[in-house]
Chains A and B, each alone.
Chain A
Amino acid sequence: MNPLLTFIVVLIGFYGLATSKNIIKSVFSVTIIESGIILLFLNLGNFEGGGIPIVGESLTNIVDPLPQALMITTIVIGSTVTALALMLSIKVFHHYGTVEWAEVLGRKDGE
């Protein structure tokens, strides 16, 4: 897979982060950026027809296990960060009664 495709996923996340008017959607955009980065790293050690990185299971040349081990860390940390951000947005909802960025920040134009 071409790494440029993973950059497109990251760019979709950036676009969502810049244009979303809802706090929950902003949190989702951060998650999309993270998915793109995870794909990029998994793509690094991967190649066409590579076997799974288990000794004795795959007869062919294996893919690189190091990016996969690093991405386990990223996934766990990403899930906790998402949970923390969602809990903060629940608190914002309790305090302001809304999760729209414009209303929370006190602006009327909605941009």
Chain B
Amino acid sequence: MVKQALLLVLLGGIFAVFYLVTEDLSELYNNFGKTYFQLNGLLETGSRNLVTAIYLDYRLFDSFFEAGILLVAVAGIIWISKHDLNEKNAQFMLDRYKTPDLFITFSRIVYPMMLVFGFYVIINGHLSPGGGFQGGAIVATAILILYYIDHDRETNIKQIVTIEKLVFFLIVLVASLSLLTRGEFFTNFMPLDSSVASKAIYLVILNILIGFKVALGLWTIFTAFLREGR
């Protein structure tokens, strides 16, 4: 009881600090970045979607390390799930024969639609809401449904991780191509005065690569989880 009261007092204190911080929040924030992106974003990057313009051109360095963190986390998950030294209770996993037939049937109908929708979101990332990360998550969810349709499906995890590393290397390669054409790292490899449509080539390529990378990474993660339960 005393602990609960102390905890509530502590949370109230944190809330008070937050409240004091928000007094200045509207003064700290300004509109300069927004107006710059709105005026120059399409001309400089060739992307109508300004969010894509930021994470594929202005802040590509961030996205690069984000993909790297995904790769490292996948490697860590595989490494943790490998060492089965002292297992006591390993029979807790779901009963694979209790998946309803209705669910399996609808999964077969929904699966191709989800794949197509995922690829649409990836390829149209520079025109409409979406992009490589979101579309990759949709494609990975579609692949997850495959495991419900076919229970005994086996996936070679090592192959997927090898492909993922190759795709990561390709992302670095495409991002570094701008060194040859523009003389600077991590930006669009098309010249600055080329048309908006030709600049979109770079965005589509990078969106597809990032989408594949995210899809393969999430696929590996839930394959590791499924293997843990078997």
Chain A residues at the B interface, C-beta cutoff of 8 Å: 3-4, 7-8, 10-11, 14-15, 18-19, 44-45, 52-57, 62-66, 68-70, 72-73, 75-77, 79-81, 83-84, 86-88, 90-91, 93-97, 111
Q: How many residues from B make CB contacts under 8 Å with A? A: 57
Residue B41 CB within 8 A of the other chain: yes
Q: Do A88 and B62 touch across chains, with their CB atoms under 8 A apart?
A: no
Q: Do B34 and A76 touch across chains, with their CB atoms under 8 A apart?
A: no
Min CB–CB distance B73 → chain A (angstroms): 4
Q: Do B11 and A69 touch across chains, with their CB atoms under 8 A apart?
A: no
- A-chain residues with CB within 8 Å of residue B22 when the two chains form the complex: 3-4, 7
Residue B33 CB within 8 A of the other chain: yes
Q: Do B89 and A94 touch across chains, with their CB atoms under 8 A apart?
A: yes
Residue of B nearest to A86 (CB): B225
Residue of B nearest to A56 (CB): B48
Min CB–CB distance A14 → chain B (angstroms): 6
Q: Do A66 and B3 touch across chains, with their CB atoms under 8 A apart?
A: no
Are A15 and B66 CB-contacts (below 8 A) given A53-B50, A65-B34? no
Partner pick for A69 among B31, B51, B81, B92, CB 8 A cutoff: B51
Residue B228 CB within 8 A of the other chain: yes
Name the residue among A44, A54, A84, A86 with the largest chain B CB count within 10 angstroms. A54
Q: Do A69 and B90 touch across chains, with their CB atoms under 8 A apart?
A: no
Are A72 and B11 CB-contacts (below 8 A) given A62-B38, A81-B73? no
Chain B 49-80 interface mask (CB, 8 Å, partner A; 1/0): 11101110001001100100110011011001
Q: Do A72 and B7 touch across chains, with their CB atoms under 8 A apart?
A: no
Q: Do B69 and A52 touch across chains, with their CB atoms under 8 A apart?
A: no
Contacting chain A: which of B94-102, B125-133, B165-173, B175-183?
A: B125-133
Residue of A nearest to B25 (CB): A3
Partner pick for B81 among A63, A64, A73, A87, CB 8 A cutoff: A87
Q: Do B77 and A84 touch across chains, with their CB atoms under 8 A apart?
A: yes
Chain B 34-47 interface mask (CB, 8 Å, partner A; 1/0): 10011001100000
Q: Do A80 and B33 touch across chains, with their CB atoms under 8 A apart?
A: no
- B-chain residues with CB within 8 Å of residue A68 when the two chains form the complex: 51
Are A57 and B48 CB-contacts (below 8 A) given A66-B34, A66-B54, A80-B70? yes
Contacting chain A: which of B13-21, B104-112, B113-121, B199-207?
A: B13-21
Q: Do B15 and A15 touch across chains, with their CB atoms under 8 A apart?
A: no
- B-chain residues with CB within 8 Å of residue A52 when the two chains form the complex: 129
Name the residue among A4, A68, A93, A94 with the largest chain B CB count within 10 angstroms. A94
Q: Do B14 and A80 touch across chains, with their CB atoms under 8 A apart?
A: no
Residue of A nearest to B33 (CB): A66
- 25 pairs from A and B in contact (CB 8 Å cutoff): A7-B15, A11-B14, A15-B7, A19-B4, A53-B38, A54-B49, A54-B128, A62-B34, A62-B50, A65-B54, A66-B34, A66-B54, A69-B59, A72-B66, A76-B133, A77-B69, A80-B70, A80-B217, A84-B73, A87-B77, A88-B80, A94-B84, A94-B89, A94-B90, A111-B3
